[in-house]
Structure 1
Amino acid sequence: MGDEGRRRHYGIFYGLQEIPAGTGPLLVIHGNCQAESLRVLVSPHLRTVRIPPVHELTADDLPWLAKLLGRADLVMSQPIRAGYRDLRLGTAEIMELAPNAAPVIMLPVLRWSALHPFQVIVRTPLGDPPGVPYHDLRVLAAAAGSPIPEIPGPEAVRTIRENSITELRARTERHGTVAADDLFVAAGAEACQVINHPGNLVLRGVAERALARCGIRVAVADPGRVLLDSVHAPRLPETLAAQGLPVTPATVRRDWLVAGRAVPDEEIRRVQADWYAAHPEVVAAGLRRHGALLDLLRASGA
């Protein structure tokens, strides 16, 4: 999206359009792409403004953010550290710009690995790998010369699921966020498209709980489309079976779906293997970051 297209996309934020009229409170939601999906879900009940995700905000955007927050009645935010990307975008920092807002309502950062036990994110200066912005530990381990089994063992899958629950609960307690771990469990095979793109069932549950903290107790309607729809990862039948989830043509996925286009898993793995060969420092970073998970998968693979 070019600069002009971006300004039109976030037209209210950049002052190209007026803030929606109405008597209800004005809500600003601050965070990543999950935050925008939650904004869509709560917008029938509150006045909202679409703003760029925190990882796209620039120094030039800060005056626009301050102007909007100065008018906000309510703020919801994911936990964001002070000085994020060397900008005053931390949760506590943006609340200083919202003097009229009620105390911030904390939203969880949503991540669920139970359906994709090999999928991880590795942050390096080189950015995301080619094909999709996710790493497959099987490909990364093979690039390191220490392959792991192609099929995850059921014990490993269940451990990874429990670890996801534990991590979500820990974040809820640490940051005082809306709870989400039970929503992922209840959603089963529809819990997420990739590890950090929760499905609509989870997002709706979080939206309902966030609204309840505003004193608005409603059933949040499904928008009629998948909100975080840009990337869908393969789902192995063995992963589903290990958790007692249905193994059907609707729940198993063999290929990726990227921007609506089916992409064979073999293609993604091939281009990423070539990338690892050219950038061994990424392999080393992945081994450091996810060594414990690699050991778990290696030890209990089927």
Structure 2
Amino acid sequence: MGRVTDPRTLHYSHFYGLDEPEDTGPVALVVGNCQAESTRILLSGPDLTTIRMPAVHELTASDLPHLDRWLARASFLISQPVRDDYHGLPLGVRQLTARMPHGRTVTVPVIRFAGLYPTHAIVRPPRDASLVPPLVEYHDLLLLAEAAGAPVAHPSVEVVRAVAAQSIAELTRREEAHDTITVSDLFANPSSFDLMRTINHPGNAVFEALAGRVRARLGLSERVADPGRPLLNRVHAPRLPVVVEAFGLPDAPRDHWVVDGADVSAEIVRREHLEWYAANPDIVEAGVARHAPTLALFARR
């Protein structure tokens, strides 16, 4: 093999067979979105060899031989719920399990909790699910409603708590539907914004709990790796005073985003997003329809 200089291949060197991992324990693959890599980091240790691999939505047909090579060696598959033939490739949980000659599969949830950021949402436009607004990829439901010509009120303490309860109920429903490890109980009484950096970027404490529960399900020791740094730390959402009040949080409110360590004005995000919505009215329509139950809570304030 000639010298490899492709950054992606070098980053996932074990996955692509450029070298072998140093750990000697049984092999585990962790499959899913950006949360999967954070889970993998905390699961890793002398008693478990975990393989850093691309997120499931980044896998291509050329990656399948490498994936199958590791499935043949794997004792454990830890996967978020992935449907069969995801992106036209055999990446569903059932499909991966079928290609693993020996080993066990544990399913973990895609973690979303809106209680700390009650106006924020994710919208996957039907015409192109990869389309996201500028600056930050999260939608503000208040802005979506404004763009749709049906503005709603800012959330009250009661609405914040209702959004949190609704979010936990949805996470619980998904856990039960896919028979995943349970994490919804971690959000019953939020103690800090560190619990979630955005609606879908958990903090270290959530990943530590998840990794511990996965290890228990696999019959491994309770040891959870210390990553020595905050995980999924690139984006932090603003912190509303009403959320601090609703949960009695010790954190100070914050009226700006933090992206790659730099402050980004919420007003600049607002202007950019409204311009983007004006150019993409179908996304406004899709977002309002998708998140109608939450918008209804705001309207009933």
How is 1:100-115 mapped onto 2 (pairs within 5 angstroms)?
100-101=102-103, 103-115=104-116
**Residue 219 of structure 1: CA displacement?**
4.5
Corresponding residue for residue 207 of structure 1: 211
User: 67, 70, 76: which is aligned to 2:69?
Assistant: 67
1:243 aligns with 2:244: no
Partner of residue 300, structure 2: 299
Tell me the equivalent position of 2:158.
155
Indicate conservation of the 8 Å contact 2:41/2:225, yes or no: no
- Determine whether 1:173 maps to 2:176: yes
Contact 1:184 1:202 (8 Å CA) reproduced: no
CA contact (8 A) 2:80 2:110 kept: yes
User: Residues 212-251 of structure 1: CA distance to partner in whole angstroms, max 9, x if unpaired?
Assistant: 11112324254221101111100101112112333x43xx
User: Which SS does the other structure have where 1:208 is aligned?
Assistant: helix
Instruction: Give the alignment of 1:188-267 within 5 angstroms.
Output: 188-189=191-192, 190-246=194-250, 248-249=251-252, 252-267=253-268
The 1:274–1:98 alpha-carbon spacing in structure 2 relative to 1, beyond 3 Å, is same
Could you list the runs of 5+ residues in structure 2 that have no partner in the other structure? none
> Is the 2:23–2:48 contact (alpha carbons within 8 Å) kept by the matching residues of 1?
no
Per mean C-alpha deviation after superposition, the further-off stretch among 177-186 and 79-88 is 177-186
Deviations 1:64-121 (A, max 9, x none): 11111111111111111111111111100111221122x2011111010000111001
Cα displacement (A) at 1:299: 1.7
Distance across 2 between alignment mates of 1:221 and 1:235:
29
Q: Note closer, same or farther for the CA distance 1:216–1:21 as it changes in structure 2 (3 Å cut).
A: closer
Counterpart-to-counterpart distance in 1, 2:13 and 2:148: 46
Q: Call closer, same or farther: CA 1:226–1:273 in 2, change over 3 Å.
A: same
Q: 1:138-183 CA distances to partner (integer Å, 9 max, x unpaired)?
A: 111111111122x311221111111122122222222121110122
- Aligned equivalent of 1:128, options 128, 132, 153: 132
**CA deviation digits over 1:248-297, x for unaligned, max 9?**
43xx2221011111101111111111000111111111111111211211
3-state secondary structure, aligned to 2:29: strand
How many pairs were matched up?
292
* Seq. identity, %: 46
Cα pair distance change 1:186/1:42, threshold 3 Å: farther
Q: Give yes or no for the alignment of 1:84 onto 2:101.
A: no
TM (normalized to structure 1)? 0.92
CA contact (8 A) 1:183 1:201 kept: no
- Per the alignment, residue 278 of structure 1 pairs with 279
Q: Tell me which residue corresponds to 1:140.
A: 144
* Counterpart contact for 1:80–1:89, Cα < 8 Å: yes
Alignment root-mean-square deviation, CA: 1.5
- Aligned partners of 1:221 and 1:76: how far apart in 2? 16
- Once the 2 structures are TM-superposed, how far is the Cα of residue 129 of structure 1 from its aligned partner? 0.8
CA 1:284/1:72 → structure 2, altered by over 3 Å: closer, same or farther? same
Contact 2:44 2:225 in 1 (8 A): no
1:186 to partner: Cα distance: 5.0
Q: Which runs of 5+ in 1 are unaligned?
A: none
Matched ranges for 1:29-44 at <5 A: 29-44=30-45
